[in-house]
Amino acid sequence: MTPRTLIVEDEPDLLETCVRLLRQVGHSCLTAHTGRDAIALIDAEHPDLVVTDLRLPTVNGLAVTRHASRASPPMPVIVITAYPSPHTKREAHQAGATIFLPKPFSAAEFMDAVNRALASPPA
């Protein structure tokens, strides 16, 4: 089965890098630049995995995480952020994040997080 991954990132270069890495290993990718668009895609497309930045236009990544983790069926979520802190990590996990990945991260770290998230039951 080809995993379908939604990547939610408002920084175009990072979005493109994540898409490229995932497509290299056979993922089908959906993309959104805002939290509002991400929530609409979660409802319409039911991806297998959501990768979301915390700071997004319109609706933040915590709301996207909550929405994905409460969907039926729930989706694993990787939260990425350039502003990591113990408080932010706790908030992300309370919202339903499967994995919290601080920026910057390497391609290997990103792909490891993707593989672990897909192997884990959603929070």
Please give the angle made by the CA atoms of 18, 20 and 22, to the nearest 5 degrees.
70
Q: What is the pLDDT of residues 1-12, one digit of tens each?
A: 799 999 999 999
For residues 92 and 63, give the distance between their C-alpha atoms in angstroms, rounded to a whole number: 10
For residues 78 and 103, give the distance between their C-alpha atoms in angstroms, rounded to a whole number: 12
Q: What is the pLDDT of residues 38-86, one digit of tens each?
A: 999 999 999 999 999 999 999 999 999 999 999 999 999 999 999 999 9
- The CATH number linked to 111 is 3.40.50.2300
How many domains are contained in the chain?
A: 1
For position 1, what pLDDT does the model report?
Answer: 76
Q: Considering the chain, what percentage of its residues have pLDDT values greater than 70?
A: 98
Q: What is the pTM of this model?
A: 0.96
Quote the domain boundaries for residue 58. Answer: 4-119
